[in-house]
């Protein structure tokens, strides 16, 4: 096979089963693809610290896209560069003030691998963060441009808050909603997406977009699937993603990635 492909994989709801594991069949398919000379790249909304175990497990040697494109770096090749595009401080402060007006449940601010939380919250801590992680109280005044701001609103406020953020801050932020049961609104700098991160990775390998196969399931995967020559939605994906996908594979619980790769690539 003369043209290497770049296989871009989202983590939650796509590569990972609902138990947050990589199934043996999917792992085997991805490793076989790498043996055949294709590049496998994780592209996720997660920070690096919570994607690294999967990067290691797949034995990847490629760059990784984190925070929906706000951070792109190469965990092994330190000469590759680190591309970090944080929110501007005044914008982050504005978003935090807007959210506080809505009396949201919680606000999390991530600066690369540092985490600040407005309210101590066992559930959030145990679900999203490694127990060994040092989580600080969100200061009244931020001192560093944050990579992302996560808002945990009350259920009945989710859509209203998103509309309000859109009106107040549309020029400077992009916001995504995490899937149920969380309904967390994630805010990064405007113009960022997984596609922007992947474009950088493709350029470094000299792989054109038409040779990209991207797998996803949520609204933060839309641009990535549009960018890819072949955008593949999982059968558990949201309807909007299925609309922009070129094709639909089985769900994350049914080895959807392996199913597609075995049929079309391997």
- Close Cβ partners of 235 (under 8 Å, ≥ 6 residues apart): 248, 249, 250, 251, 254, 256
Beta carbons of 116 and 137 less than 8 angstroms apart = yes
Cα(80)–Cα(197) distance, rounded to whole angstroms?
Answer: 13
Cα(111)–Cα(27) distance, rounded to whole angstroms?
Answer: 31
Q: In terms of Cα–Cα distance, which of 54, 73, 63 is closest to 112?
A: 73
Cα(65)–Cα(188) distance, rounded to whole angstroms?
Answer: 14
Q: Could you tell me where the beta strands, DSSP code E, fall in 29-131?
A: 39-42, 64-66, 71-73, 82-84, 106-111, 114-117
**130 annotated active-site:** no
Beta carbons of 244 and 28 less than 8 angstroms apart = no
How many other CB atoms sit within 10 Å of the CB of residue 129?
A: 17
| Residues annotated catalytic, as ranges | 10
């Amino acid at each position: 096979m003369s043209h290497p492909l770049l296989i871009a994989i989202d983590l939650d709801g796509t590569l990972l089963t609902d138990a947050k594991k990589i199934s043996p069949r999917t792992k085997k398919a991805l490793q076989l693809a790498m043996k055949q000379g294709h590049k496998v790249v994780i592209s996720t909304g997660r920070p690096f610290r919570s994607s690294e175990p999967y990067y290691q497990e797949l034995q990847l040697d490629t760059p990784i896209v984190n925070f929906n494109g706000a951070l792109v770096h190469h965990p092994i090749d330190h000469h590759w560069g680190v591309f970090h595009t944080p929110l501007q401080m005044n914008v982050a402060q504005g978003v935090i003030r807007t959210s506080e007006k809505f009396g949201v449940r919680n606000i999390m601010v991530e600066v690369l691998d540092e985490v600040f939380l407005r309210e101590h919250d066992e559930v959030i801590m145990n679900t999203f963060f490694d127990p060994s992680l040092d989580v600080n109280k969100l200061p009244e005044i931020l001192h560093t441009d944050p990579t992302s701001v996560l808002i945990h609103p009350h259920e009945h406020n989710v859509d209203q808050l998103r509309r309000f953020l859109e009106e107040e801050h549309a020029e400077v932020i992009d916001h995504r909603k995490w899937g149920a049961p969380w309904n967390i609104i994630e805010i990064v700098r405007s113009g960022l997406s997984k596609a922007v991160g992947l474009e950088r990775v493709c350029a470094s390998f000299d792989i054109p977009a038409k040779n990209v196969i991207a797998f996803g399931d949520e609204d933060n995967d839309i641009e990535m699937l549009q960018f890819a020559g072949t955008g593949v939605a999982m059968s558990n994906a949201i309807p909007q993603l299925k609309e922009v996908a070129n094709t639909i594979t089985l769900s994350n619980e049914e080895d959807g990635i392996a199913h597609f790769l075995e049929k079309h690539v391997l």
